[in-house]
Amino acid sequence: MKRTATVWIAAGAAVLLVIAGALAWWSLSRPPSAEDAARSYLTALAGGDFATIDAMRGNDVDEDAERVLMDSFAGADAYASETRVEEITTGADATTVRASAVIAGERREVSFALRDDGGRWELTGDYLASLEVTVVSAAGTPLGDSAWVGGALASTARPILLLPAEYPVRPAPRGLLTGEASVALSTDEPAAVRINASIAPDATAAGQAQLNAYADACTQPASAVPPDCGLRVPWAADLATLESIAFRIEQLPVLAFAPDQRTFAATGGVVVATATGLTSDGGAASFTYRADDWSLRGTVTFRGDEMVLALD
């Protein structure tokens, strides 16, 4: 009797193991539920896991918008934390999820929708946060057409769509304009940030180098006074015909930006020009002219991550 009982107990244990294994297999093999997908998305938001989020998105995504979304998220200051699902509502076309998370120390609503695409849950609807960025000079005039949000250079011509997180926002070009803001984004309300930007010391140095190269090009030997160079050579007062002009720079014009950061003036330049040609009696001659007020003036434009100086 004792031996029979032992065999029966062992067999019972084997049956229980088989049942437990079947339950585990069923759990692992069944399609994920909407709640599973929602928790997966929230976990990815909290972990900065863009690959998981991207895998849940549809295929009809604009390439530039995709770059901005990915790079901004990679450069976020901080991600959501303490995520939780608050409510799931199943509809005819999609499942709506109302969740929440702590972003920048405040609990915010995070809403999104999921669509069952043959066993794969896909994000749909308005699951992205909206950010409007305005960059202005100290004089209050708009500057540039782009800004850096996280690690992405994004156009400021329209609201920027981003994943819920906390982001640093800087004016573009990065390193040439100063100013910064931090913004916490979620889907509960659109956000707007205004950055008061100013010219960085590196911008003046970069602009001066750009103008120096331009001035060097302007003062190469020529057969006529080069246009758009701020040079005036009154050779016609002494020569009937000009054959060549040679220039010598004694002092380059020094760059300064206007307070509105939309114009510039490079002043204080000194240049010497020697004009060679024929006089009115047909004889060859050379005359030298000196300008102590050589200047270059124009406009400043910030395009994307570049600063462009254009001469008037």
Q: What CATH number corresponds to the domain at position 177?
A: 2.60.40.1120
- Quick one: which H or E segment has residue 70? helix 63-74
Task: Report yes or no on 18 lying in a domain.
Answer: no
Q: Is the residue at 86 inside a domain?
A: yes
* pLDDT score at 8: 41
Q: What's residue 217's pLDDT? A: 97
Range of the domain at 145: 129-198
Is residue 109 located within the same domain as residue 149?
Answer: no
Residue 30 pLDDT: 58
- Compute CA 232 distance to the chain's CA centroid, rounded to the nearest angstrom: 42
Cβ burial of 105 (10 Å; 0-12, 13-18, 19+) is exposed
**Assigned domain for 11 exists:** no
Q: What is the pLDDT of residues 231-280, one digit of tens each?
A: 999 999 999 999 999 999 999 999 999 988 999 999 999 999 999 999 99
- Out of 198, 228, 256, pick the residue that ends a domain: 198
H or E stretch at 242: strand 241-251
Residue 3 resides in a domain: no
Q: How many domains does the chain have?
A: 3
Long-range contacts of 231-237 (CB under 8 A, 24+ apart): 231/271, 231/273, 231/291, 231/294, 232/291, 233/273, 233/275, 233/289, 234/289, 235/275, 235/277, 235/287, 235/289
93, 124, 155 - which closes a domain: 124
Q: What is the pLDDT of residues 201-239, one digit of tens each?
A: 999 999 999 999 999 999 999 999 999 999 999 999 999
CATH number of the structural domain spanning residue 77:
3.10.450.50
Residue 255 lies in a domain: yes
Both 205 and 304 in a single domain? yes
pLDDT the model gives residue 92: 84
> Which parts of the chain sit beneath pLDDT 50?
1-28
Containing H/E element for 63?
A: helix 63-74
